[in-house]
Structures are given as structure tokens and as C-alpha cells.
Amino acid sequence: MEGKKNIPVITIIKDGPLKVSGDFTLLKENRFPLESGSEVWLCRCGKSSRKPFCDGSHKK
Ligand code: FES
């Protein structure tokens, strides 16, 4: 259905990132948009060189 919103869902990936899916806007500290879309993977291990996004470094 056109114009229908998909609710944001956050999924914890075991030993990995947070998967955010649905319609969302990720804001920077200054509240300006950093990312909008339908799917993003956020680092929660602290090893990513692309924070706040996961770059796969958690697998090392
Ligand atoms: S969770 Fe993937 S790099 Fe941190």
C-alpha cells in the first residue's frame, strides 16, 4: 500500500550489531539526520571504524 509506514524494529544480533529496520531517521548529536532509510546495522562492540555503523570488525 502506497504511503504506508513500516514501524521501526530493532533486533539484537548475538555477538554483533543492532539491526534497525522499518522507517526511521538516525540523528547525529546535533539532531541533524545522519541516515534515513529502511535498514541499518549499528555497532555495539566499539570496534567499528565506521561508527555508529557496523563494519564487520566484531567478527575478528
Ligand atoms: S558490532 Fe559490528 S563492528 Fe561492532
Rounded to two decimals, the pTM is 0.86
Over residues 3-30, mean pLDDT: 93
Contacts (Cβ under 8 Å, ≥6 apart) of 27: 33, 34
Q: Among 15, 20, 43, 51, which is best to mutate for testing ligand 1, by the most ligand atoms less than 8 A from CB?
A: 43
Query: For position 2, what pLDDT does the model report?
Result: 59
CB 20 less than 6 A from any atom of ligand 1: no
Task: Establish whether the linkage from the previous residue to 33 is cis, with ω within 30° of 0.
Answer: no
> Are 28 and 11 within 8 A, CB to CB?
no
The pLDDT tens digits of the residues spanning 19-39 come to 999 999 999 999 999 988 889
pLDDT over threshold 70, residue 1: no
